[in-house]
Amino acid sequence: MLIRPAAAFDLDAIARVQARTMVAAAHYKDSLEDESEYRRLLPRVSGYFAGTYGPRYALAERVMFVAEPDEGIVGFIAGHRSTRRGCSAELEWMFVLPEWQRQGIGERLLQPLREWFIAQNSTRVIVDAPPENPCRAFYLKHGAIPLDGYWLYWMDIGHTPEPE
């Protein structure tokens, strides 16, 4: 499994991974079918990559990594520097295709993003993970702590306990 920085030619596949994963998850109630969700997400993913779309409080510095076995991209993670809620960075997205989940890909994607945050001197990291989001348990397992009902954060993502 190759984990590498995303490139512009990956954006179509990244949007498709996000769409398929959202449609498959009960958490995303408004996601009805892959193709319409893909058409909605592609401009956001492309804009995020290009720096023309930024979530509130996002700073210019951002990065995306993809997980790519032999058959194409099966997951991705994205993050940026941020000032949201007193933090210095935000994990924006992490999606892994349903059939590839629970195989360690999330952990493998989180590692280079963690290293990027450390290199940016932005280790207080926030992530939006409401209680019904299936990723919430993953983030908690990897050292995030609740900030409120929706947000989790790492006080210092460079010093997190090893998952059990």
Delineate the domains of the chain, giving CATH numbers in brackets: 2-154 (3.40.630.30)
DSSP sequence for 93-125: EEEE-GGGTTSSHHHHHHHHHHHHHHHTT---E
pLDDT recorded at residue 24? 77
Q: Which pTM was predicted?
A: 0.91
pLDDT recorded at residue 57? 86
- Alpha-carbon gap, residue 2 to 32, rounded angstroms: 30
pLDDT recorded at residue 26? 60
Q: How many helices (H) and strands (E) does the chain have?
A: 4, 7
pLDDT recorded at residue 37? 82
pLDDT recorded at residue 31? 52
Closest CA to 112 of 66, 61, 44: 66
pLDDT recorded at residue 153? 95
pLDDT recorded at residue 70? 85
pLDDT recorded at residue 36? 81
Closest CA to 116 of 6, 31, 12, 1: 6
pLDDT recorded at residue 33? 66
Are 146 and 155 in contact by the 8 Å Cβ rule? The answer is no
pLDDT recorded at residue 88? 96
73: amino acid identity, one letter: I
Are 106 and 94 in contact by the 8 Å Cβ rule? The answer is yes
Are 38 and 22 in contact by the 8 Å Cβ rule? The answer is no
Binned average pLDDT, 10 residues per bin, the chain of 164 residues: 96 93 68 74 94 88 95 95 94 95 95 96 94 89 91 90 60
Task: Kindly give, in sequence order, each residue whose CB lies less than 8 Å from that of residue 154, ignoring residues fewer than 6 positions away.
Answer: 123, 124, 125, 143, 144, 145, 160
